[in-house]
């Protein structure tokens, strides 16, 4: 929450801060009319122009825990740096199974490895996830801190980890050539993409290669190179081809049932050593990122379904059906564009009414793909969705069009995954009796609720830091002209998104040529005298007129 109100701080409470310092202030007295608050400075973040101070202000604003206490750091440092023979006892030895990690080039906490084999009739898919619970014991200082944080936070210039780096980048990271403890979900998949058999087990693994998305994409796109030209990865190429083929099968299966894929561009903001943005470019989705996404989704569904039918206490990832009123508005709007979407009333009869099957959203997105209104319809469909959350009730995942889903694959950076691993291991070791089940039933509702809250907090902080750096980037382009697309329309103006994902607003008072008003029914800005309209998805040339770092806003003007 940004506060524009002045706060008076007496000199004796200034903590040594001087003009130009960015500080954290605690209000000590609001005053009789709450208009003249007094406070004291509790932390000096640094000079306003110091690298990283602007991001730290957002971190403090969202009360994100950053530093680990000495007790927690000492506990992390005491964890063994190598997997011992005792640790491997009773585990399935998969060290001879060919497997890789596939992540971004700069990733350091590698918590998932994958393996694929094909016998001509069926695929064997292994998703191997770091066994973090072996090193983070329940109710330990490490565990309590991980629960408090809930998730790692990925800001534009730093990562605030859920676990200390000694764990997340060390013994818990599935580093190439190192023995590591894991929980493995081993699935057998037929040629129709059906998971016909599976096994969930504790394992010990050894990753053969640490791959990047870029390298795997390059290998698969250049597979016609002569033998030997793939260098050190040549022996892995057959497995990568099988991974690609299997991922396509799994994706087709999901799409057939109605899984929705909102393909909006995310961005990567590149900073110089002083924290100033030098480039904003979209993240690239490619064959390698799709492979990992498809395999993780398969494992998450398999694990969730298994424990649902075991009737054990568990943490699910749920996504409720969209709000009925929003669906009615979406349906009415797309009808004006010549599109149709079946809605289902509460009675189960087809009406213009309350609910919609995810397949209908998927079909709608397919129909508008490549059309001028694609961005507009996609955004409106996304806005009709509810937010996914964690729950002890398995109420289904609307966006994925599946009944059973959980987060199993990232225990280094998400607490629900860590909690799930603990339950799985208790079950595998025969310890999930009535007493232990009762324990989980008592704690899991709060774990799910708190994890959902910390996830939202992290998302908001990540968005704020991105917006801040986008504003700072556009300050270097004041007066310049860009081609964009109308991404939002409100009573107060038109939002325009540029190809690099930067979004700014043309205030309604600055739209030239007429007096314009917002038509809610058609979701467009209309000129009162001329009838000229601005619609979502319409291309628009704009000029950068102003940037406001405090409000994280960019003002555009329309260029005729």
pLDDT of residue 347: 39
Instruction: Return the top range by mean pLDDT from 13-27, 32-46, 195-209, 508-522.
Output: 195-209
Q: Which one, of 203, 163, 168, 197, lies nearest residue 184 by Cα? A: 203
Q: What is the mean pLDDT of the chain?
A: 89
Q: Which one, of 309, 310, 313, 302, lies nearest residue 392 by Cα? A: 313
pLDDT of residue 375: 67
Q: Which one, of 450, 432, 465, lies nearest residue 552 by Cα? A: 465
Token pair recorded at residue 452: 């959902």
Contacts of 50 (CB under 8 A, 6+ apart): none
How far is C-alpha 449 from the chain's CA centre? 18
Q: Which one, of 175, 185, 452, lies nearest residue 316 by Cα? A: 452
- pLDDT tens digits along 339-376: 888 865 543 444 444 578 888 888 888 888 877 677 66
Cα 292 from Cα 139, distance rounded (Å): 32
458 phi, psi to nearest 5 deg: -65, -45
- pLDDT tens digits along 166-198: 999 999 999 999 999 999 999 999 999 999 999
Whether the per-residue pLDDT at 4 is higher than 70: the answer is: no
pTM: 0.87
pLDDT > 90: what percent of the chain?
Answer: 66
pLDDT of residue 264: 63
Q: Which one, of 69, 174, 164, lies nearest residue 114 by Cα? A: 174
């Amino acid at each position: 929450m940004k506060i524009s109100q002045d706060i008076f701080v007496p000199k004796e409470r200034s903590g040594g801060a001087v003009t130009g310092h960015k500080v954290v202030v605690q209000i000590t007295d609001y005053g009789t009319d709450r208009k003249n608050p007094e406070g004291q400075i509790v932390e000096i973040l640094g000079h306003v122009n110091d690298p990283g101070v602007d991001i730290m202000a957002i971190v403090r604003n969202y009360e994100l825990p950053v530093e680990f206490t000495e007790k927690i750091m000492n506990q992390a440092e005491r964890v063994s740096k190598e997997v011992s023979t005792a640790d491997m006892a009773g585990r399935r030895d998969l060290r001879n199974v060919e497997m890789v990690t596939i992540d971004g080039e700069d990733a350091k906490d590698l918590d998932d490895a994958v393996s694929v084999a094909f016998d001509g009739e069926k695929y064997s898919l292994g998703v191997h996830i770091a066994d973090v619970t072996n090193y983070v014991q329940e109710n330990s200082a490490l565990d309590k801190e991980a629960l408090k944080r809930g998730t790692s936070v990925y800001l534009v210039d730093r990562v605030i980890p859920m676990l200390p780096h000694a764990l997340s980048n060390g013994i818990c990271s599935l580093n190439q050539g190192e023995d590591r403890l894991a929980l493995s979900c081993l699935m057998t998949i037929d040629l129709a993409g059906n998971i016909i058999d599976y096994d969930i087990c504790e394992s010990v693994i050894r990753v053969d290669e640490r791959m990047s998305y870029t390298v795997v994409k390059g290998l698969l796109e250049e597979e016609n190179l002569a033998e030997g030209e793939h260098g050190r990865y040549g022996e892995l190429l057959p497995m990568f081809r099988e991974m690609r083929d299997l991922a396509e099968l799994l994706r087709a299966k999901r799409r057939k049932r109605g899984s929705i894929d909102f393909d909006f561009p995310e961005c990567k903001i590149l900073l110089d050593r002083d924290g100033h943005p030098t480039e904003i470019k979209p993240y690239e989705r490619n064959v390698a990122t799709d492979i990992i996404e498809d395999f993780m989704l398969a494992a998450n569904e398999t694990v969730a379904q298994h424990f649902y039918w075991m009737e054990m206490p568990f943490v699910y990832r749920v996504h409720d059906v969209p709000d009925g009123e929003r669906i009615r508005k979406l349906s009415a709007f797309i009808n004006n564009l010549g599109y149709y979407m079946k809605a289902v009333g509460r009675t189960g009869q087809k009406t213009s009414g309350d609910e919609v099957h995810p397949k209908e959203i998927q079909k709608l997105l397919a129909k508008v793909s490549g059309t001028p209104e694609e961005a507009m319809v996609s955004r409106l469909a996304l806005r009709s969705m509810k937010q996914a959350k964690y729950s002890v009730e398995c109420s289904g995942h609307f966006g994925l069009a599946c009944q059973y889903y959980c987060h199993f694959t990232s225990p280094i950076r998400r607490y629900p995954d860590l909690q799930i691993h603990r339950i799985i291991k208790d079950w595998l070791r025969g310890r999930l009796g009535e007493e232990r089940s009762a324990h989980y039933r008592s704690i899991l509702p709060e774990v799910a609720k708190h994890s959902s809250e910390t996830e939202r907090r992290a998302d908001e902080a990540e968005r704020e830091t991105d917006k801040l750096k986008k504003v700072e980037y556009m300050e270097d382009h004041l007066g310049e002209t860009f081609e964009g697309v109308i991404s939002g329309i409100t009573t107060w103006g038109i939002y325009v998104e540029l190809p690099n994902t930067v979004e700014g607003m043309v205030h309604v008072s600055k739209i030239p040529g007429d007096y314009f008003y917002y038509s809610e029914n058609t979701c467009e800005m209309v000129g009162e005298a001329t009838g000229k309209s601005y619609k979502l998805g319409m291309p628009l040339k704009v000029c950068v007129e102003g940037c406001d770092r405090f409000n994280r806003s960019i003002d555009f003007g329309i260029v005729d």
